[in-house]
């Protein structure tokens, strides 16, 4: 069954109601069997901890229509593990990896007509989440939980190809030194709305967060991870307990080493030493790679490779990663799971 109502060429990153979503409840100490439902509204208790105390976490991954017509999920086991860690940090019950991947596969199969055709550059974006629900008022963990997965077809992040953007350093923090920066939780995003809006108002693509303890080292680029390439063929990405451990970042680290022959370093990225980089970028599931043209800090714009051209190493990393996701290039064992 096709999908005549969607124009694949103009698809962006906007909510579209798809046919079915997965819904499972945690009650009486265990996850109940999940079901697929047409209803895209949740009916939850007014006292739900997700609403008042931010007891919730989420994930983001994509299903790709591969070159041979099959459907690829990219490293869903890693999303399952990360969601289990996020749940653990917020005292929520963990969803077993098998249940997580099964839910994702069910949602992709049930909404197959929404997967953008191969060659359009788009994908089916999956949004798994866990929320604390049930009657409650005090600050404590919820009596019940919901695990749900819905999906939305999305277009390529950059229409007409990758291009660099400028970012500005924020004076705000998205997370605390021993807080929830490494967990994919809504609270971090709520804290990032105002800094992000201020950066966009000043005509930057987004803001960059420095380490919350000393404000001297780069941590995150909006809601994506930072990487820089040095003239000595090093791939450098911040080492910090408050950075979100991105799966795109993890994958680029491995590809940089094994396929591009770069030296991979997790290290402090001092804002006063950006000259060490010849290229820089932000990476994450939504944007894949967003090349950084320049970074605005203390009234000066530091430009890396170029404000208009994408650097050669960034290009190669992008080609390798998206090649694996769309089934054009063989990936490392276990990275691609067929639906």
Ligand X SMILES: *Cc1c(COP(=O)(O)O)cnc(C)c1O
| Site residues for ligand X per CB under 6 A | 60, 184, 220, 223-225, 244, 246-249, 284-285
Smallest gap from residue 89 Cβ to ligand X (A): 14
Nearer to ligand X, 210 or 224 (CB): 224
Pairing outcome for strands 144-154 and 300-303: unpaired
67 is catalytic: no
Cα(123)–Cα(137) distance, integer angstroms: 40
Nearer to ligand X, 223 or 240 (CB): 223
Cα(146)–Cα(22) distance, integer angstroms: 10
Cα(288)–Cα(293) distance, integer angstroms: 16
Q: Which one of 184, 217, 239, 319 is the catalytic residue?
A: 184
Using the CB atoms, write b or e for 208-243: b if 16+ within 10 Å: bbbbbeeeebbbbbbbbbbbbbbeeebbbbbebebb
Smallest gap from residue 221 Cβ to ligand X (A): 8
Nearer to ligand X, 56 or 136 (CB): 56
Nearer to ligand X, 144 or 220 (CB): 220
Q: Which of 61, 117, 126 is nearest to 326 (CA)?
A: 117
Smallest gap from residue 124 Cβ to ligand X (A): 15
Give Cα separations from 102 to 202, 329, 333 (angstroms): 43, 25, 20
Nearer to ligand X, 18 or 225 (CB): 225
Contacts of 155 (CB under 8 A, 6+ apart): 8, 9, 10, 11, 12, 13, 116, 120, 121, 122
Smallest gap from residue 136 Cβ to ligand X (A): 26
Q: Which residues pair with 251 in a beta bridge?
A: none
Q: What 3-state DSSP class applies to 255? A: helix
Smallest gap from residue 223 Cβ to ligand X (A): 4
Q: Could you list the active site residues? A: 184
């Amino acid at each position: 069954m096709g999908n005549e109502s969607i124009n694949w060429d103009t698809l962006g990153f906007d909510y579209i109601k798809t046919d079915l979503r997965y819904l499972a409840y945690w009650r009486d100490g265990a996850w109940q069997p999940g079901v697929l439902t047409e209803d895209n509204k949740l009916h939850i208790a007014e006292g739900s901890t997700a609403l008042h105390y931010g007891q919730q976490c989420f994930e983001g991954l994509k299903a790709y229509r591969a070159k041979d017509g099959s459907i690829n999920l990219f490293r869903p086991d890693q999303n399952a593990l990360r969601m289990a860690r996020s749940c653990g940090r917020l005292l929520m019950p963990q969803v077993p990896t098998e249940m997580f991947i099964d839910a994702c596969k069910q949602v992709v199969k049930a909404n197959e007509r929404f997967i953008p055709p191969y060659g359009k550059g788009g994908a089916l974006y999956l949004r798994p989440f866990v929320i604390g629900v049930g009657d409650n008022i005090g600050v404590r963990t919820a009596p019940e939980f919901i695990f749900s997965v819905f999906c939305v077809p999305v277009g390529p992040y950059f229409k007409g190809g990758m291009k660099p953007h400028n970012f500005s350093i924020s004076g705000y923090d998205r997370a605390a030194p021993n807080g929830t920066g490494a967990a994919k939780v809504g609270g971090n995003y709520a804290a990032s709305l105002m800094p992000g809006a201020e950066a966009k108002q000043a005509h930057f693509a987004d803001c960059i967060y420095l380490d919350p303890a000393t404000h001297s080292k780069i941590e995150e680029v909006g809601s994506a991870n930072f990487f820089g390439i040095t003239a000595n063929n090093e791939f450098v990405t911040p080492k910090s307990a408050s950075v979100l451990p991105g799966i795109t970042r993890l994958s680029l680290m491995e590809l940089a080493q094994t396929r591009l022959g770069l030296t991979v370093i997790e290290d402090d990225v001092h804002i006063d030493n950006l000259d060490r980089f010849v290229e820089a970028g932000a990476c994450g599931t939504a944007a894949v790679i967003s090349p950084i043209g320049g970074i605005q800090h203390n009234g000066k714009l530091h430009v890396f490779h170029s404000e208009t051209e994408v650097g050669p190493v960034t290009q190669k990393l992008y080609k390798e990663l998206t090649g694996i996701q769309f089934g054009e290039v063989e990936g490392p064992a276990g990275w691609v799971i067929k639906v």
